[in-house]
Structure 1
Amino acid sequence: MFVAFCNQNTDFTCLGGCLVADIDALIKKYFVQPDDTDPPSEPLPATFSGCQVTPLIDGATYFADLKTRIDALGNGTPSQNSAQFIYLTGWWLCLTGRQPAPGHPETGEAPFSLDGPGAPNHLIDVLKAKARAGVDVRVMGFITWAGMADYGILRTSVRKRIKILDIQLDTLASIDGLRKEPALKDRACLIIIGHSAGSSHTKMALVGDGTRAIGYTGGLDLVDDRHGGQPHPPGQWHDVQAKVEGPAVQGLYDFYRAIWNENADRRIKSFLSVKDRIPSHTTATTPVPARTLPTTPVGGHHVQSLRTVPRFNYKFTNNLPENPKISFAPDGLFEVRSAWFNAVLAAERYVYIEDQGFWSTDVMTWLNRVLKIRNNLKVVLLKGIADPNDPPFPAYADVALWDGLLHDLNDQQRGRVRAFLSDVFVHTKSTIVDDHWAIIGSANAFQRSLYTDIEHSVGIVDVDGGLVQQYRTLLWSDHFHLLDPAGQQKIADIDKALNVWDPNWGTSGSQVTLPPTLKPILLPFEATFLTDEEQDRHDRYEDVDSRAPWGGCLP
């Protein structure tokens, strides 16, 4: 629930004693416009008005909201239930729990529940019950198709490079477990359409009852350790999911449908689990139907539905697994990139990026450019302790920060950049600009999120100027340990809030100080060079850019 705050900025006019946003000016400034596009890879994103977007901060908040929507379905007559749907997709599914590591049975975990870690109301059982009641339940999980096809005999050299192979057993088990319910036998799929070294990274849920549909997009997978909330103990998970209502849900639905139907049209691949081979889908897998969702306005938020879909560009000498182009985007789609670029270059007061890492030289270059253009612009970067599924803070992050962001800034410009490390797992993929524009979704500040992985995010501005400011206030309050509305009100004003990050910025008087759980990060002060092996690993596995030819003769 958001608290109403007063917003102060230059894009508002006075009307009847209230501040009213010049929404046309905001859209023109921060949203991708027809003149900004570069088809076919960067077309005009699907753009919607009359929407309601609610940022759900932390897993406990998101999972509770999703549970309420799912529980409401499947309780009517067969005719009513048949008009309802639950569509889920994730990078990692733990519906049947975490599979124990080979030789270590104690490492297994209980099936995922929306009610919390270890809770008995397992989501897999809920989904089976809804499907038996006639609700159209569908679940897609990402599989590293190029590496998992022969999982049992993979060479050690490949497994060291593709670190997520072991956790894919959880997704295999989840899809196999769903198929044991006859109503879901043909409605649980492994996603096999991605780039050879990419992933289907989208974490999306769609819930509809025939008259209303709600979409969720963000960073949260259906995994038990994603439950988290304020006040965070050290090492807990922190993330954000956007709840989308109104006309923009159509954009989420159409993307889900495109991925499902593309997948269902492909030749079936099989993957070795612990004992059995699990097919990616079945010959009876049916397409997701086209639906025209309700267009009735439900709020004053404007939304761009943003996608990343890779190109399939292989080296002539490549002997590694290849995939054909995706038919609905044969040249790739880089809408997340174009929207992010446009908004950052429009920034005047501040850019805040909260992410699990800052590996993208492109994103850092945009910040470099705008710091030179805007003499008072502030940049805040926040990351957390390393995701246990990520490599340690990599050398190529220092390369991106130096080569992209810092290398040619003067002292005054560098003095307007601050980076911080939180003591929690910051898994958020979100940027906020000027209290006017925000992006929330699955796309990280990585090259692969801009060009290679299948991603979805939403870009947002709003007519009354409240949403983005309120989102920023609550997100920063989460990190500043401001648990009540009175405390949160202290950083509603952006100048006072910026002063918390750096006492030389903004305006003092908030009476808020940085907690000891946020540590300044010393940014690189000289160039970092990768070895040939590190560069090859970066280009082929860690942060792949699908615009460049991929592959080679060796694993």
Structure 2
Amino acid sequence: MKDWFLAAGERGNLATSIPDWSAGNRVEPLIHGATYFDRLATEVEALGAGDQLFFTDWRGDPDEKVRDAGPTIAELFCRAARRGVVVKGLMWRSHLDKFAYSEEENQHLGDAIEAAGGEVLLDQRVRFGGSHHQKLVVIRHPRAPERDVAFAGGIDLCHSRRDDAHHRGDAQAVQMSSAYGDRPPWHDVQLCIHGPAVGALDTTFRERWTDPAPLDMLSPIAWVVDKLRRADLSPGELPPQPPDPPVCGPHSVQVLRTYPDAHFEFDFAPHGEFSIARGYTKALRRARRLIYLEDQYLWSKNVSQLFAEALRANPDLHLIAVVPRHPDVDGRLALPPNQVGRQQAIETCRQADPDRVHVFDLENHEGTPVYVHAKVCVIDDVWASVGSDNFNRRSWTHDSELSCAVLDDTGEFARDLRLRLLREHLDRAEDGSEDDDLVDPADAVSAVIRSAQALQDWHDGGRTGPRPPGRLRPHQPERLGALTRIWAEPMYRAVYDPDGRNYRDRLRRRW
């Protein structure tokens, strides 16, 4: 484990009480929001009086349905609170709705849960321009710890997330770039975790909940508004933390986080925590054959340099990246800064060896681009990570993030996660009966390239004849003019991909 996971002291944050890692877990990837929401609803509906439901999120829409016939997120959590479940939530206070954020939605979800007897706090303890981006649900059964479960990954409790393998989008959609249509197809992944690691994720929630830093310390206007609407600004007492759940499986889990080095201090991370960046850095240095990743924002030169270094050091190493075809926004001002970062990141990787860097985007069978929101990385079919963090400097230094790295004795988890994702992207049988050219990493690279090129050739040929199987196409990086880059690059660095480290660590290029 010490070869891949961060060992004692390598986390860089001695103030936290979470363990280095937790062994003996059972971890299951839940691919697609519809799968996750259905499992979440099943677990929450089984909670009774005295059980505990804790959650953190970037955005929560109270009316988002967890199943076709309901209930909504608000109804699910409110019914639990009325049954006597201890429901506590931390939502990012968010920027204003008029800037396409979720201030009112997060507030309304919190108000509904509080009216039912739970407690939800709007948390603004972030760097200027930052956000709380963790997506976590922890469910504890103090009288039956073997039933404890936690969910962590990239899926928010909000609109547009409840899509499935057909990728025709969530009927309750958010507005995005017109390229994705009125009902944007959405690809995402969440982990379902049983075992002792649930205790580490419970501690992650409790550290933020009990920290004494004021919730709205950065905004006097927000403080006045919250006082006028009598918002809950004082966290209530949490029930005692139960012992860790019993050992139940073969997987070891390391909980990785980002907390910035801000002008205020968390007691549990007084100088921030960059264990996500450190965890990836350590794992990438061990990569020898294949780095497989899916990411919403592969757009940071700082991060892509790690991939480039790994490629230069290992001549047999390949990189496969699945990214969105288009950013989620349109507009002359918003679009170029989103494009310039990805262009720089891909160019940095390809400078190491263009023949070993393979970048694809995703579409459904109707040809509509699928928005890739997943944050997944699999290295050599041994180490896997799923979380809220994207491959950019913002996620690794500036916002609050949460990721879970997973190892097992045989590497089956990491390999099976990669195979499950590729089966869907290449239209292969779900039972693995068509995996012959996917199991070996070198063969998988060739298979993905062939499939994506066949689909691209079909499009280039006027889409005549049967559509080839598969949903991946070679990604064509955007080309921006020199004048656009002059203003887009500084805006990208300052606003879209800021640095949350102190100046000393920036100068030393240290996470």
TM-score interval for Structure 1 and Structure 2 normalised by the shorter chain:
0.7 to 0.9
Change (3 A) 1:369 1:430: same
Change (3 A) 1:537 1:525: closer
Q: Contact (CA 8 Å) 2:127, 2:262: kept in 1 or not?
A: yes
Following the alignment from structure 2 to structure 1, what is the Cα–Cα distance between the partners of residues 304 and 324? Answer: 18
**Deviations for 1:398-432, whole angstroms, at most 9, x for unmatched residues?**
12333x4234x3xxx22011100112111000110
Alignment partner, residue 198 of structure 1: 130
Match of 1:474 among 413, 417, 420: 420
Paired amino acid for 2:402:
H
**Deviations for 1:188-231, whole angstroms, at most 9, x for unmatched residues?**
11011111111100011011111222111011111232111112
Alignment partner, residue 225 of structure 1: 160
Does residue 48 (structure 1) correspond to residue 14 (structure 2)? The answer is no
Query: Which region of structure 1 is more displaced relative to structure 2, 292-301 or 36-45?
Result: 36-45
Alignment partner, residue 204 of structure 2: 255
**Deviations for 1:255-296, whole angstroms, at most 9, x for unmatched residues?**
11111222775467774999995555244x313344143342
Match of 1:547 among 480, 501, 506: 501
**Deviations for 1:505-524, whole angstroms, at most 9, x for unmatched residues?**
xxxxxxxx984632102458
Structure 1 counterpart SS, 2:206: helix
Superposed, 1:154-173 pairs within 5 Å as 163-165=99-101, 167-173=102-108
Alignment partner, residue 260 of structure 2: 310
Q: Contact (CA 8 Å) 2:18, 2:203: kept in 1 or not?
A: no
Structure 1 counterpart SS, 2:160: helix
Structure 2 counterpart SS, 1:384: coil
Structure 2 counterpart SS, 1:445: coil
Unaligned runs of 5+ in 2: 170-183, 364-369, 452-466, 504-511
Q: Contact (CA 8 Å) 1:231, 1:483: kept in 2 or not?
A: no
Match of 1:372 among 305, 312, 321: 312
Following the alignment from structure 1 to structure 2, what is the Cα–Cα distance between the partners of residues 416 and 525? Answer: 21
Query: Which region of structure 1 is more displaced relative to structure 2, 235-244 or 266-275?
Result: 266-275
Q: Contact (CA 8 Å) 1:169, 1:274: kept in 2 or not?
A: no
Match of 1:114 among 16, 41, 66: 66
Alpha-carbon distance, 1:73 to partner: 0.8
Following the alignment from structure 2 to structure 1, what is the Cα–Cα distance between the partners of residues 18 and 84? Answer: 37
Q: Contact (CA 8 Å) 2:342, 2:477: kept in 1 or not?
A: no
Following the alignment from structure 1 to structure 2, what is the Cα–Cα distance between the partners of residues 401 and 414? Answer: 10
Following the alignment from structure 1 to structure 2, what is the Cα–Cα distance between the partners of residues 295 and 257? Answer: 16
Unaligned runs of 5+ in 1: 1-26, 75-80, 96-110, 152-158, 314-323, 505-512, 550-555
**Deviations for 1:415-463, whole angstroms, at most 9, x for unmatched residues?**
0111001121110001100110100010001111000110000011112
State TM-score, norm by structure 1: 0.75
Match of 1:175 among 75, 90, 110: 110
Match of 1:127 among 67, 73, 77: 77
Following the alignment from structure 2 to structure 1, what is the Cα–Cα distance between the partners of residues 237 and 277? Answer: 29
Alignment partner, residue 350 of structure 2: 406
Does residue 281 (structure 1) correspond to residue 232 (structure 2)? The answer is yes
Structure 1 counterpart SS, 2:129: coil
Paired amino acid for 1:201:
H
Q: Contact (CA 8 Å) 1:399, 1:528: kept in 2 or not?
A: no
Alignment partner, residue 35 of structure 2: 61
Alignment partner, residue 214 of structure 1: 149
Change (3 A) 1:35 1:375: farther
Query: Which region of structure 1 is more displaced relative to structure 2, 446-455 or 378-387?
Result: 378-387
Alpha-carbon distance, 1:143 to partner: 1.6
Alignment partner, residue 92 of structure 1: 59
Paired amino acid for 2:494:
R
Alpha-carbon distance, 1:37 to partner: 5.3
Does residue 520 (structure 1) correspond to residue 474 (structure 2)? The answer is yes
Aligned length: 459
Following the alignment from structure 1 to structure 2, what is the Cα–Cα distance between the partners of residues 34 and 434? Answer: 24
Structure 2 counterpart SS, 1:537: helix
Match of 2:446 among 496, 499, 511: 499
Q: Contact (CA 8 Å) 1:173, 1:273: kept in 2 or not?
A: no
Change (3 A) 1:366 1:232: same
Q: Contact (CA 8 Å) 1:271, 1:280: kept in 2 or not?
A: no
Paired amino acid for 2:127:
H
Paired amino acid for 1:428:
A
Paired amino acid for 1:51:
N
Superposed, 1:295-374 pairs within 5 Å as 295-312=245-262, 324-374=264-314
Q: Contact (CA 8 Å) 1:215, 1:243: kept in 2 or not?
A: yes
Match of 1:431 among 366, 369, 377: 377
Q: Contact (CA 8 Å) 1:42, 1:334: kept in 2 or not?
A: no
Paired amino acid for 2:315:
N
* Amino-acid identity (%): 25
Alpha-carbon distance, 1:177 to partner: 2.6
Alignment partner, residue 362 of structure 2: 422
Change (3 A) 1:486 1:301: closer
Does residue 394 (structure 1) correspond to residue 394 (structure 2)? The answer is no
Paired amino acid for 2:158:
V
Paired amino acid for 1:191:
D
Alpha-carbon distance, 1:528 to partner: 7.5
Alpha-carbon distance, 1:542 to partner: 0.9
Paired amino acid for 1:200:
H
Following the alignment from structure 1 to structure 2, what is the Cα–Cα distance between the partners of residues 138 and 487? Answer: 44
**Deviations for 1:106-130, whole angstroms, at most 9, x for unmatched residues?**
xxxxx112113xx342231232222
Alpha-carbon distance, 1:34 to partner: 4.1
Paired amino acid for 1:348:
R
Following the alignment from structure 1 to structure 2, what is the Cα–Cα distance between the partners of residues 417 and 500? Answer: 14
RMSD: 3.3
Alignment partner, residue 78 of structure 1: none
Structure 2 counterpart SS, 1:50: strand
**Deviations for 1:466-513, whole angstroms, at most 9, x for unmatched residues?**
111111110111211224314453433434322212359xxxxxxxx9
Match of 1:236 among 174, 180, 185: 185
Change (3 A) 1:430 1:273: farther
Alignment partner, residue 19 of structure 1: none
Q: Contact (CA 8 Å) 1:354, 1:381: kept in 2 or not?
A: yes
Following the alignment from structure 1 to structure 2, what is the Cα–Cα distance between the partners of residues 434 and 307? Answer: 23
Match of 2:121 among 186, 189, 207: 189
Change (3 A) 1:384 1:135: same
Q: Contact (CA 8 Å) 2:291, 2:320: kept in 1 or not?
A: yes
